[in-house]
Amino acid sequence: MAFKTLGAKAAAALDKELMSSGAFSLDQLMELAGLSVSQVVYRVHPITKGPKILVAVGPGNNGGDGLVAARHLRHYGYQPTIYYPKRPKNELYQRLTKQLEDLNIPFVDDFPDALKSADHVLDAIFGFSFSGEVREPFPAVINAMAETKIPVTSVDAPSSWNIEDGPPSEGVGSNFHPDVLISLTAPKPLVKHFKGLHFIGGRFVAPSIAKKYDFDVPEYEGLDQIVEVEAAGQKL
């Protein structure tokens, strides 16, 4: 079964609809999105492969998913470290940050240096609202993720990739190919350029809303918040 994709505009409209007629709060959606991200890390990188997860957090809701995932991963026994250089004054992000501080999770300023001792990287910098060329301070972070031998899991999109067209043809991000991707609610068109392990998460969409936006809700099993699909969107 091929999974339909959701473009940047449709993904933003769906997000809005979930929080209006869908009656969800952003906190709820982000909690479930972040929970599914934590399950992907648990699946692809069991703690026996090394507990140190470096989480790169961006300024929007993609970053919020990363903060939630870090909290869950800490409770599973991992040792997350957070790189969060641009922190908006939004109350939700401040609360998520406080929750991590209360768990003694370290926040670091030097991403390349933190990468030296990491076992796995979580890319929660940009999601479906990314556009244009990567602005400071993120180019060095994208380059470091592109060059590292440590496995990288991207949340919703490989950060720096155009949501419709995939990796830029040159410059920052052109050589960034993460090992794992978790698409939230539905894959974005960029997945046609993605060759790694691919999951779908975000187990909160009512069938009526999926129908309206013309995408498929995968068949989640048991307690799972994630379903593995082939890179091109075929269910395994």
Binding residues for (6S)-NADPHX: 61-65, 127-133, 156
Question: 159 touches which of ligand NPW, K ion, none (CB within 5 to 8 A by kind)?
Answer: K ion
Sheet holding 226-229, edge to edge: 107-108, 79-83, 52-57, 120-124, 152-155, 180-184, 197-201, 226-229
Of 79, 90, 129, 148, the one binding ligand NPW by CB under 6 A: 129
The distance of closest approach from Cβ of residue 114 to ligand NPW in the complex, given in angstroms and rounded to an integer, is: 20
- For residue 123, state whether it binds ligand NPW (rule: CB under 6 A): no
**Strands 226-229 and 197-201, bridge-based pairing:** antiparallel
- For residue 61, state whether it binds ligand NPW (rule: CB under 6 A): yes
Q: Per CB under 6 A, which region of 110-118, 126-134, 141-149, 170-178 contacts ligand NPW?
A: 126-134
Nearer to K ion, 67 or 155 (CB): 155
- For residue 14, state whether it binds ligand NPW (rule: CB under 6 A): yes
Of 92, 100, 176, the closest CA to residue 134 belongs to 176
Nearer to K ion, 209 or 231 (CB): 231
Burial pattern 85-97, b for ≥16 Cβ within 10 A else e, equals beeeeeeebeebb
Q: How far apart are CA 229 and CA 235, in angstroms?
A: 4
C-alpha of 135 from chain center? 19
Q: Where are the beta strands (DSSP E) in 26-116?
A: 52-57, 79-83, 107-108
Residues annotated in a binding site for K(+): 62, 123, 159
Of 5, 33, 53, 55, the one binding ligand NPW by CB under 6 A: 33
Q: How far apart are CA 79 and CA 68, in angstroms?
A: 14
Closest-CB residue for ligand NPW? 127
Residues of the shown chain interacting with ligand NPW in the complex, contacts defined by CB under 6 A: 14-15, 18, 29-30, 33, 58-65, 126-135, 138, 155-156, 184-185, 202
